[in-house]
Amino acid sequence: MWPTTVMEILFAGGMLSLVVDAFGGASDFVKRYGAAIVGALAILFSLAVLASDWAASLGSIVILQPVSAPFASLYIADKFTTFTAFTALVVGLAVLVYSVLYFDSGRRGPFFALFTILMCSLVGVVSAGDLLTLFLFWEGMTISAYGLVTFGRSQLSLEAGIKYFLMAGIGSLLALYGIAAIYFTSGSIQLSAIGAALGTGFGELGFVVLILGLGVEAAIVPLHTWLPDVYSASSIPSASVISGAVTGVGVFALLKVLQPLVPGGGFGAIVATTGGPSNLQLVIVVLALLTMLVGNLSALVQGNLRRILSFSSIAQTGYMLAALSTLTLAGLVAVVFTIWNHGLLKSNFFMVLGKNSASMESSQLESLRGAGRGNRKLGFLYASSSMAMMGAPPFGMFWSEILVVQSLLIAGHASGVVFYVLAAAVVLNIVLSIGYYFKIINTVVFGEARGETDDRKLGDLLPPASLLAISVLTGIAPFLILGNVL
Amino acid sequence: MVAALYGALTFGSGATEGYTLWFPALSVTLQVKVDQLSVLVGAFVSFVSFLVVVYSLGYMKEEPGQSRYYSLVLLFVGSMMGLVMAGNLIQFYFFWELVGVCSALLIAFWTDRPAARKAGLKAFVVTRLGDASLLIAVIFVAAVLGTTSFDTILGPSGIATLGTGTIFALGLLMFVGSMGKSAQVPLHGWLPDAMEGPNTVSALIHAATMVNAGVYLMLRMYPVITLPQLSGSLTNIILAIGLLSALVGGACAIAADDLKRVLAYSTISQLGLMFAAIGLGSLTAAAYQMISQGLFKALAFLAAGSVITALGTRSINEMGGLARAMKYTYVGFVVAMLGMCGLPPLVGFWSKDAILSAALGTWAPFSLLLCSFALTALYSFRALFRVFHGQSNTAKTPKESPPTMIIPIVILAASVLVGWAILQPQPLLSTTSWIPDASTLTASLTVLALCAGLAYLVFLPNYRKVLGAVQSSGALSGLQGMLHDGFYFDRLYVWLYSGIVRPISTAVSYIQTGLIEANMGLLLLAAAVLFALFALGVL
């Protein structure tokens, strides 16, 4: 099945990129494009393997154990992991192609190697079948992402990278504590068996602490403070892949931990006999509320476009967390579909921002004023990206928001008023978000142009435009993307 | 347009066609619903859209961004048709949102004007507040009933099977959604500002089509909002809001100096009458008023556009005496105003008479409706006299508009004059009586005559004296100021944002200190709180 094969391809691709970069010889073409081509081929082959296993992965959960030994890694192939891995790879491919155009000087081989290893780690996190495997790939993902954040070696990116590393480090410690508590109470680290830990107070604490630890990467409030700095200070390709893939996989890790508790989630969980939400659910509800409110309210007063996008990502995490709090199959579907839409659109947005907004000063809204007016294609992309993130049709995010609210209303109907309140909060937050997205349109697209025109050609805009087009396809013909997946 | 009109005229019986499974996760099938309501409204939308696009050929000739304009207009028309023909609530909502997006972008069409950009944002935000309410209702129906197909949810095994409180909540949520799109108090403030957009946009979207979408939703959901178990609780609310909007809109229209804002407030008022009709239990009257208001309001806007293009101003204080120089425009405007006032036998008369007849036997709604008709006559004749009669207040020499702008005006004028002959036999409207009730006829004509006479006296020969008297009286000038400012609703919205939302946003943003110590402290604090809650047995 695809998990192990894909990871092998990507890992090999990452290593080969380094080799090509180091031993590429005097050829300028190899030095410039060699590592990128290897990385792109690795991702393309991975997508091909995923496609060949697609149908088999959509049935009941397949648990793989490549090596038969105690504590040997387990991997899972089901519709959620398959679709999320697909999301990460599609976003990764678009960002990688964009990176080739972005880096026009300097040594870039290590970047593409790190990028491909990051993809491998993301697939590992997505397909992990036990908590230790999840944790190992989680660390791999964090380290790769750290390398990408600090790649430019500017003062700001190093500072952002350190903040990220420290926060993620504490998160990892908390996650390890949670894993230990769950193992202590359930006797297992396999995802199929950890549900038993919920029967005890210590086990429940373990779940909560694990969610908190993993929540750093997903940028749950109050663990989110690293994200605006990282998004602001990283290079555009790094910010694109972190916002589009890493944050989404971070949320998916939370889904993995909670999936065994969901009736119909594939692990045989049963419906709880008590009517109201459990303590675990209440904690997640509170975190979801905080996350979406802090995300949207903070974004409203930002003057820097990158920081607006970072807080917007935090808000989106809040919506996904709200869907997860329901512990329903509808909630899982909502999260996975939102990861897809958010991944496409957020990556796209950063690529639209482009190199001209590489510094903090140049990504200020006032510096970008009228950028869309001088370059019509760019203006169209800015406007479309903003409308798409708002959840306006015909973009795919429209359906994500419906699915999130639907899962909350289903849960509310079954479990009480808490989820109705959360549904209302999600909807009101979506309305709040219009404030800052329209500010982007008003300033960047409609504002009077100042300074030089952003003269990017169509070729530079093709990677983000392709992600936007996929989002339109998702919105107009969701059955083509979802089909029999979700 | 031809196909739609042919379909409307030869319509036999209704059907809902399903095509493909559109959104599998919600079991939503792409459906087209063809019934009396969708065919009538669809034909009307395509008729008005066609005329407005023809008008645009002349009106927008010199404007830059034409490809953007026409693509947005056509996307809008397509979305509006999709909304009207939708066979289920989710599909309906998809096109409902798309219509709102197109509207906001078209309002902000002249992107170099800050007022236009601000108006586009305001329209989007306010209508989205209503949309949020509708979204919850739509998804709730999907979640609980497992389907949103109109054939099912409006039938005996649909929403009617839910508890009374649930049905009321659903209906109310949907009505709030309607209020946003159809600019009803207190979600009406976006419509007057939307006049910053091109005139064709105002005529098409903000007079004849999009603003009717809310009414259309209520007409579509009529079997639910009139369920016996609700005992009229919901329809009473709809009636109250409708009457309030009719009066607020009418009062503000009298004080507005911008010709387009007069028509915008008038639209709010006329839409209020539609909701009042629904509240009074007359689906026919509401549907008739929807079509007739669309016709005479679109006509009014196109005629106003002709004037504004000729003079380069929207202020009625800089107009006057245009009747001779712009004959066709003048005739079109007169027909529009008379249609709006309900002069028989114009199309507006029949719809207004149907609404008034629905209120027969009630004291308060009947009286308030008459007050609204009075206000309608006052602001209509005010606009007519100030723009086309009296002395000219412009230095420009106005010329009549080109044929591409005049022909649609003439066609719409003809439809207002004789459209009742085609509309009345339509299945949905055929219960409207050809012979009006004597009491309603007497009441409406008396109000019309009195107010027309009063408007003549106040706004023509004695205008300066009246203006002087108002300005020298503290109470009257205060009242004028309040009406001019739309009863200060805008100030309330601004206060809500800058007084509540913005300070909270600023306070929340202080969490982001940028200091690593603070970041880690926050994380550890969160962990400590959780541990403590578990240790104390709270969780």
Q: What's the pLDDT tens digit per position in A407-450?
A: 999 898 888 789 999 999 999 999 999 989 988 998 888 888 77
Query: What is each CA distance from A444 to A373, A437, A449, B114, in whole angstroms?
Result: 8, 11, 8, 13
Residue type, B4: A
Which pair of tokens denotes residue A479? Answer: 């059955």
A397 touches chain B (CB under 8 A): no
B258: confidence class by pLDDT, cuts 50, 70, 90: very high
For residue A226, list chain B residues with Cβ-Cβ distance below 8 A.
519
Q: What is the mean pLDDT of chain B?
A: 89
For residue B30, list chain A residues with Cβ-Cβ distance below 8 A.
none
Least confident of A143-147, A153-157, B341-345, B438-442: A153-157
User: What percent of chain A clears pLDDT 70, i.e. is strictly above it?
Assistant: 94
Q: Average pLDDT, stretch B427-456?
A: 84
Q: Is A76 helix (H, G, I), strand (E, B) or coil?
A: strand
Q: What is the pLDDT of residue B393?
A: 82
Q: Is A393 in Cβ contact with B97 (below 8 Å)?
A: yes
CA A391 – CA A427 distance, rounded (Å): 11
- For residue B135, give the nearest of A228, A405, A438 by CB distance: A405
- For residue A409, give the nearest of B140, B502, B523 by CB distance: B140
Q: Average pLDDT, stretch B357-383?
A: 93
Which residue of A lies nearest to B21 if distances are taken between CA atoms?
A: A479
Least confident of A377-381, A458-462, B1-5: B1-5
Residue B184: pLDDT over 60: yes
Residue B191: pLDDT over 90: yes
Q: Average pLDDT, stretch B214-220?
A: 96
A229 touches chain B (CB under 8 A): yes
Q: Average pLDDT, stretch A118-130?
A: 94
CA B95 – CA B433 distance, rounded (Å): 34
B186: confidence class by pLDDT, cuts 50, 70, 90: very high
Q: What is the pLDDT of residue A275?
A: 66
Number of residues in chain B: 539
User: What percent of chain B clears pLDDT 70, i.e. is strictly above it?
Assistant: 97
Q: Which of residues 143-162 of A touch B (CB under 8 A)?
A: 162
Q: Is A279 in Cβ contact with B505 (below 8 Å)?
A: no
- Decide: A113 and A143 in contact? Cβ < 8 Å: no
CA A303 – CA A31 distance, rounded (Å): 39
The conformation of residue B325, written as its DSSP 8-state character, comes to T
Q: Which residues of B386-423 are buried (b: 16+ CB within 10 A; e: fewer)?
A: bbbbbeeebeeebebbeeebbebbbbbbebbbebbeeb
A209 touches chain B (CB under 8 A): yes
The conformation of residue A447, written as its DSSP 8-state character, comes to S
B330: confidence class by pLDDT, cuts 50, 70, 90: very high
Residue B5: pLDDT over 80: no
Q: What is the pLDDT of residue B276?
A: 96
Q: Is A301 in Cβ contact with B502 (below 8 Å)?
A: yes
Q: Which residue has the tokens 């509708």?
A: B134
Bridge partners (DSSP) listed for residue A304: A364
Q: What is the pLDDT of residue A404?
A: 95
Residue A273: pLDDT over 60: no
Which pair of tokens denotes residue A311? Answer: 């807080």
Residue B304: pLDDT over 90: yes
Q: What is the pLDDT of residue A267?
A: 74
pLDDT tens figures, B194-213: 999 999 999 998 888 999 99
- Decide: B186 and B178 in contact? Cβ < 8 Å: no
- Decide: A136 and A72 in contact? Cβ < 8 Å: no
Which residue of B lies nearest to A440 if distances are taken between CA atoms?
A: B121
- For residue B117, give the nearest of A387, A410, A442 by CB distance: A442
B65: confidence class by pLDDT, cuts 50, 70, 90: confident
Q: Is B16 helix (H, G, I), strand (E, B) or coil?
A: strand
The H or E element that residue B32 is part of is strand B28-34
- Decide: A198 and A207 in contact? Cβ < 8 Å: yes
Query: How many Å is the Cα radius of gyration of chain B?
Result: 25
User: Residue B230, class by beta-carbon neighbours within 10 Å (0-12 exposed, 13-18 middle, 19+ buried)?
Assistant: middle
- Decide: B399 and B58 in contact? Cβ < 8 Å: no
Q: Average pLDDT, stretch B10-30?
A: 76
CA B508 – CA A294 distance, rounded (Å): 6
CA B217 – CA A450 distance, rounded (Å): 45
Q: What is the pLDDT of residue B517?
A: 81
- Decide: B45 and B392 in contact? Cβ < 8 Å: no
- Helix%, strand%, coil% for chain A, nearest 5: 75, 5, 20
For residue B521, list chain A residues with Cβ-Cβ distance below 8 A.
none
The H or E element that residue B309 is part of is helix B283-311
- The residue among A376, A95, A41 whose CA lies nearest residue A248 is A95
For residue A293, list chain B residues with Cβ-Cβ distance below 8 A.
508
Q: Average pLDDT, stretch B156-173?
A: 93
Q: Count each helix (H run) and each strand (E run) in chain B, helices first.
A: 24, 2
Query: What is each CA distance from A380 to A446, A462, A464, B216, in whole angstroms?
Result: 11, 13, 12, 32
CA B76 – CA B104 distance, rounded (Å): 11
